[in-house]
Amino acid sequence: MFDSQTGGHVGVADDPDVAGRPLATGVPGVYLFPGSFETIIGLLRQGIAAMAADEPVRRLHIPPVISRRVIEHAGYVKTFPHLLGTVHSYTGDSCGWQALAELVDEGGDWHAQQRISDLVLLPAACYPVYETLTDQALDGPRKFAVEGNCFRQEATSEIGRLRSFRMVELVTAATADYCLQWRAHWLERVSGWLRSLGLHVDVEVADDPFFGPGKKLFQAAQRMQELKLELRVPVADGVVQAVASANYHKDHFGETFRFSCDGEVGNTSCMAFGLERIALALINAHGPDSGSWPDGVLAALGGGHD
């Protein structure tokens, strides 16, 4: 792991005990993942898919970028500007670049003329789904299973807090009643699943890391309405992280993207899984070699290795 205090790498490569763990790079919160870690990620995908086998989901793989307009429109820019990664590129001519190019080797300000593009980095896997429902009148729940590589410009880099990480989400768009029941069902199901993986789970009412003067108000309103519930488990000695969250957005996305369900403004809920965090929690509990994990744990991951 990268030690944010010293800015150095802490004995990752040489210690056989941590051989299966993510490898630190020169930048905090960005890791390289060895094969044995990816085997665990594959098992998690399999376990989540097995849990969702009885849901008629549309499966979508989400790219690591999303339309900037969609993210602006969805309210993310105003509430989480500190986490959003923007995509910029050089749009000047080759003459203008000559002088700037010389600055690259000196670590100078070669990027002074970079302009923001029509893309931003994906902050959560469910965002692109809501736009696909634009102007639709749904005659029943619509369900999706998505996975994407997400980016968040996190300020700290303790264990389990990455800047680039993978998120699987189950998403539903339906009526308010349906979305609330669906979320309660999935919260129950996922806590049971995490326990069957041998993990100690706490379910807590939570809030998102809003930014700016409205922060306290947004967080209090979110907590009061219990819009976000987190499943928190130990990912290392003394470190507990949310490995999954069950969210209810009320009619926020239905209003934003003008979709309805059974005659009312569309409501949405999502069940989000952080793959790296669950993998770290499993390694913490059972060791990095998934081949030697207890049978019950492997059974809860869809019956074994793929």
Question: CA 128, CA 253: separation in Å to the nearest integer?
Answer: 11
Instruction: Give the amino acid at 89.
Output: S
Q: How many chain residues touch Zn ion (CB under 5 A)?
A: 4
**Smallest gap, in angstroms, from Cβ of residue 245 to ligand AMP?**
3
Q: 24 or 260, CB closer to ligand AMP?
A: 24
Q: Count Cα atoms within 13 angstroms, Cβ side, for 217.
A: 4
Contact partner, 126, from Zn ion, ligand AMP, none, Cβ < 5-8 Å per class: Zn ion
Provide, rounded to whole angstroms, the least separation between the CB of residue 165 and ligand AMP: 4
In this chain, which of 120, 233, 242, 261 binds ligand AMP, going by CB under 6 A?
Answer: 242
* Phi/psi of residue 46, nearest 5 degrees: -65, -45
Between 131 and 260, name the residue whose CB sits nearer to ligand AMP: 131
DSSP SS3 for 134: coil
- For the bound state, the minimum distance from the C-beta of residue 124 to Zn ion, rounded and expressed in Å, comes to 5
Among 201, 270, 279, 281, binds Zn ion (CB under 5 A): 270
Residue 15: how many other CB atoms lie within 10 Å: 10
CA angle 51, 208, 45 (to 5 degrees): 20
Alpha helices in 155-274 (DSSP H): 176-196, 215-224, 252-256
Minimum distance from CB of 228 to ligand AMP (Å)?
7
SS3 for 267? strand
Residue 229 binds to Zn ion (criterion: CB under 5 A): no
Is residue 3 within 8 A of residue 10, CB to CB? The reply is yes
Q: Does 276 bind ligand AMP (CB under 6 A)?
A: yes
Contact call for residue 167 and ligand AMP (CB under 6 A): yes
Pick the stretch among 17-25, 189-197, 238-246, 249-257 that binds ligand AMP (CB under 6 A): 238-246
Residues 114 to 153 in contact with Zn ion, rule: CB under 5 A: 126
Assess 71 for contact with ligand AMP (CB under 6 A): no
Q: How far apart are CA 213 and CA 203, in angstroms?
A: 28
Extract the tokens encoding 61: 């793989």
Q: Does 280 bind ligand AMP (CB under 6 A)?
A: no
Q: Does 280 bind Zn ion (CB under 5 A)?
A: no
Q: Considering only residues 128-157, where is the footprint of ligand AMP by CB under 6 A?
A: 152, 154
For the chain, helix (H) and strand (E) counts, in that order, are 10, 17
Q: List contacts with ligand AMP (CB under 6 A).
A: 124, 152, 154, 160-162, 165, 167, 242-245, 272, 274, 276-277
